Chains A and B, each alone.
Chain A
Amino acid sequence: MGTGDAGFEEPLVELRRQIEELERYPDGAGRGRELGRLRTRLRRETEEVFRHLTPWQTALVARHADRPFTLDYVQALMGDWVEIHGDRAYGDDPAIVAGLADFRGRPVVVVGHQKGRSTKERIRRNFGQPRPEGYRKALRAMRLAERFRLPVLSFVDTPGAYPGIDAEERGQAEAIARNLLEMSLLRVPVVVTITGEGGSGGALAIGIGNRVLMLEHAVYSVISPEGCAAILWKDQGRKEEAAAAMRITAPDLLRLGVVDAIVPEPPGGAHADPQEAAARVGEAISKALRELVRLDPERLVAERRKRFRTLGSFLES
């Protein structure tokens, strides 16, 4: 990372560079001992840095460009992937992917936000900010799942729904609202995993699950820290305070009942070891699915609604 706000990761980057350099040297002259020493130091410092991430730093980890995205999880965890396209009404939105796959011997439907890694791909994916046709594609895929009695696995990672003229013209609000309603009616298991950024309504629109899992360094919030700071503090620069005040981290959300389980990330975050991160996500989803596939459709619908029904905090005098 090593740029801008993400300075907290810089010592780790430097250590990794030193290790890589030393690995290129021929053996002998205490190289092995020195390598061992550096690796131990890297492991310790990584643990130290990631144990003390502030909420804002966690948001930066959640946004990390090398973090696994939906298609990375699909590639690591699933077979027989068939990506499906289009909302059958307007177009195909690359910011959301949907498809059929085999997950550990079970056919499933996958929906998820998709970001890009190269500049060109990031633009094509609109930085993971869907337009209405993306949400409508996801809904079409979920209905397909219901028709053929397949579980839905949803992967959430978006800064938010795209705030543009075209998105408004095509009914961004309606598309999100409809998904909330329709997902409350789905008669199949829905397992949601917040893998990176859970950006407000744009995240929730594919986030109504029987189980909601969250990666250790993912975030989930009603508005971005920058947006919150700009509105409430009238100063985008107060994003660190806003990030802390809003309680956007996995432990906070677990405490508030918004997520059901936290998936621990490998040392240094999911981007430091994507394979291991995917394996852990796979285990967590698998466990959730085992519990859910036993339930009949009525029970799945009732329990999913009840799960969200209880969220909120108020007094009654």
Chain B
Amino acid sequence: MAWFRKAKTPKAVRGLPARSPVPEGLWVRCEECREVLFARELERSLRVCPKCGHHFRLDAPERIRLLLDEAGARELFASVRPTDPLRFRDTRPYADRLHAYQEAVGVPDAVQVLEGTLAGIPVVLAVMDYRFMGGSMGSVVGEKITRAAEHAAEKHRPLVVVSASGGARMQEGILSLMQMAKISGALARLRERRVPYLSVLTDPTTGGVTASFAMLGDLNIAEPGALIGFAGPRVIEQTIRQSLPEGFQRSEFLLEHGFLDLVVPRPELKETLARCLRLLSAA
């Protein structure tokens, strides 16, 4: 009955943010309008607040269920796993941090790639998962999205990438930055092969992810109210030493300034993507 199957509840790990802004239980308070909502009703409405339309964040499995047809989906490149190339250590070793997130979230890194159909249209879909280290992009995210683009080019299947990321992963240093170049090279190939690429930007998409593949869709499509930008709001506030205007760096702001093609509410997202893909692949 519920549109979403319940996501697996992760084990609690010290020092990790809660996996979801929605606490367990029957009732949930909307982050935006503070309205108390029936949790089951929120799930049924695809985690869009029925009162104010606020879009709660989706994790990768929820996003995949939203977009892909149930039959015939197959995960790709699942064996690509992170390593610790710099033997990086801040207040805690990166290797430990990776392990803790893998335990807590139940996935190896911050992106999943699948091959399947979207409203009957064969696609390659990459979905970022903000729960895993803030969706940060290190070598694994870079490699898997690059392979997704290469696979799409080879099979002549449209590529859909759903972004949710704070940007490049500091713990892999310069190698994280290089993923921006690597993915962009693969997208260049996709372009030469005339395979459509739709970029779906969700809350939040910032830093090196926005400044590479998220802004390079043949069409850039965002969910309402998503934070999208290059620099994070706090960095900008520190630079200019004043607070930012209401709605700054939100989807609607980017639409107004010419950087998005569409802002699409979640219930219409799948059908909108399908329509775009049908029209782009008609020739």
Contact = CB atoms under 8 A, between A and B. Distances in A.
Interface in B175-189: 175-182, 184-189
Contacts of B80: 314-316
A308 B142 CA distance: 11
Contacts of B85: 256, 313
B244 interface: yes
A131 to B, nearest CB: 11
A161 B257 contact: no
Nearest to B173: A246
B86 A172 contact: no
A245 B88 contact: yes
B24 interface: no
B28 interface: no
Interface of B is mostly: helix
A222 interface: yes
Given A171-B257, A171-B259, A308-B181, A316 B175 contact: no
Given A163-B230, A164-B239, A305-B185, A256 B249 contact: no
Given A163-B231, A309-B185, A317-B79, A177 B239 contact: no
Interface string A257-281: 0100000000000000000000000
Interface stretch (A37-45, A61-69, A102-110, A226-234): A226-234
A220 interface: yes
A183 to B, nearest CB: 8
B239 A201 contact: no
B168 interface: yes
A316 B90 CA distance: 26
A174 interface: yes
B90 A233 contact: yes
Contacts of B210: 173, 177
A169 B247 CA distance: 12
Q: Interface residues of B toward A: which range?
A: 35 or more
Contacts of A222: 168-170, 172-174, 176-177, 208
Contact of A185 (B177, B188, B259): B188
Given A164-B239, A165-B244, A173-B215, A200 B208 contact: yes
Given A168-B249, A314-B143, A163 B235 contact: yes
Nearest to B179: A312
Contacts, number: 194
Contact of A168 (B81, B185, B207, B230): B230
A221 B82 contact: no
Contacts of A161: 211, 230-231
B248 interface: yes
A176 B230 contact: yes
A174 B175 CA distance: 21
A289 interface: no
B89 interface: yes
A117 interface: no
Nearest to A221: B174
A169 B255 CA distance: 11
Interface of A: 161-165, 167-174, 176-178, 180-181, 184-185, 200-201, 204-205, 207-208, 220-223, 227-228, 231-233, 241-242, 245-248, 253, 256, 258, 304-305, 308-309, 311-317
Interface of B: 79-83, 85-86, 88-91, 138-140, 142-143, 146, 168-182, 184-189, 191-192, 207-208, 210-216, 228-231, 235-236, 239-240, 244-245, 248-249, 257-259
3 smallest beta-carbon distances between A and B, as pairs: A163-B231, A312-B139, A313-B85
Given A161-B231, A177-B215, A258-B174, 9 more contacts: A173-B230, A177-B214, A181-B191, A185-B192, A201-B177, A222-B173, A248-B173, A308-B181, A313-B85
12 contacts: A167-B231, A177-B214, A181-B216, A184-B185, A184-B187, A204-B178, A221-B173, A231-B170, A248-B174, A256-B85, A314-B82, A316-B80
